[in-house]
């Protein structure tokens, strides 16, 4: 039996028995158990390793057989070029879309806000910062070509407490304008990710309204917002109103439930309503599954799939 038929068997048997452990039945059943999701949910490496093994290519194949039509990889920049190329070829073959990878992320140094390359730098060095950003953006453009990626995450770094917020914001916008000039012809779109103050204390960018203001200042189609619903629930809540207010600059969505940062339906966020709202607003982009699993092992992986089935939109 091929992998798709076996997955359909596992999912259907799991639903019937209420458990995902020790399923060994091999008789073909209704393949609708692995039909494509209507929303473009994007799993990450490791979310299906108990079924697919440690090889990322096999995990991507399993995800497609389970109905997912996109993929994310925060570690993509750290992979060998041969693996990156293999991922790109496989996604194209399977008709899957590559989601975000990380173009730049710093959680301790005020790189964008203070023009400092490290947290311990006493002096600002805008030229050195620009040199680093040029290298990071150039590498990201080349990587995006290999894997067919259209978006790349930017976390601009820590706040610089020696500067007023207005000056920090101006510095961030200036540095992003510089980055946009590098990526705008060949892509990808740089998506700014506000992070919550609990998991990432001290980061400059925390609120969707901040990111919206900066995107307006940069005024480039190559700089937009990654609205991570997990982070924004912690930082601000009021999710649908905040999505609506920043809507014209949002290019990408990520999710995780609160508390715990696990799959939808395990916490307090009403993801079924949020996904209906997104679909109603015409969002057909990727929804990145940047979270852990609420249960371990194969059972947890099947529970993950079933959770996304429960919150997927109707036809």
Q: Which region, left, alpha or beta, applies to residue 165 given φ > 0 means left and ψ of -120 to 50 means alpha?
A: alpha
Strands 223-228, 70-71: pairing is unpaired
Q: Where are the domains of the chain?
A: 38-311
CA distances in angstroms from 75 to 102, 110, 219, 287, listed in the order given: 7, 22, 29, 18
- 19 is written with which tokens? 């458990």
Pairing of strands 97-98, 189-192: unpaired
What share of the chain has pLDDT > 90, as a percent?
86
The CATH fold of domain 38-311 = TIM Barrel (3.20.20)
What pLDDT was estimated at residue 186?
A: 86
Give residue-wise pLDDT tens across range 176-232.
999 999 999 888 999 999 999 999 999 999 999 999 999 999 999 999 999 999 999
User: pLDDT tens digits, residue range 95-136?
Assistant: 999 999 999 999 999 999 999 999 888 899 999 999 999 999
DSSP letter assigned to residue 59: H
> Which stretch of DSSP H or E encloses residue 60?
helix 56-65
3-state secondary structure of 224: strand
The predicted pLDDT at position 20 comes to: 39
Q: How far apart, in whole angstroms, are the C-alpha atoms of residue 34 and residue 254?
A: 22
């Amino acid at each position: 039996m091929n992998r798709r038929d076996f997955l359909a068997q596992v999912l259907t048997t799991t639903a019937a028995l209420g458990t995902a452990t020790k399923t060994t039945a091999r008789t073909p059943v209704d393949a609708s158990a692995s039909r494509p999701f209507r929303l473009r949910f994007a799993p990450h490496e490791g979310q299906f390793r108990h079924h697919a093994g440690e090889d990322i290519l096999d995990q991507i194949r399993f995800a497609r057989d389970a109905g997912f039509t996109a993929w994310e990889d925060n570690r993509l920049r750290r992979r060998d070029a041969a693996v990156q190329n293999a991922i790109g070829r496989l996604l194209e073959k399977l008709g899957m879309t590559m989601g975000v990878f990380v173009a730049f992320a710093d959680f301790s140094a005020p790189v964008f806000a203070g023009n400092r390359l490290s947290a311990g730098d006493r002096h600002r060095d805008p030229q050195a910062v620009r040199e680093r950003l040029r290298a990071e953006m150039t590498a990201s453009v080349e990587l995006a070509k290999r894997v067919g990626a259209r978006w790349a995450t930017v976390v601009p770094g820590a706040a610089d407490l020696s500067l007023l917020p207005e000056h920090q914001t101006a510095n961030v916008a200036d540095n992003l304008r510089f980055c946009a000039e590098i990526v705008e012809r060949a892509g990808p779109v740089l998506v700014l990710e506000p992070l919550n103050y609990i998991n990432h204390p001290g980061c400059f960018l925390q609120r969707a309204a901040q990111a919206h203001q900066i995107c307006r200042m940069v005024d480039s189609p190559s700089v937009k917002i990654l609205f991570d619903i997990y982070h924004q629930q912690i930082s601000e809540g009021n999710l649908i109103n905040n999505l609506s207010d920043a809507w014209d600059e949002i290019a990408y969505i990520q999710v995780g439930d609160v508390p715990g940062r696990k799959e939808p339906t395990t916490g307090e966020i009403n993801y079924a309503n949020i996904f209906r709202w997104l679909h109603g607003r015409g969002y057909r982009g990727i929804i990145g599954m940047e979270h852990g699993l609420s249960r371990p092992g194969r059972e947890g992986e099947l529970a993950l799939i079933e959770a996304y089935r429960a919150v997927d939109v109707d036809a």
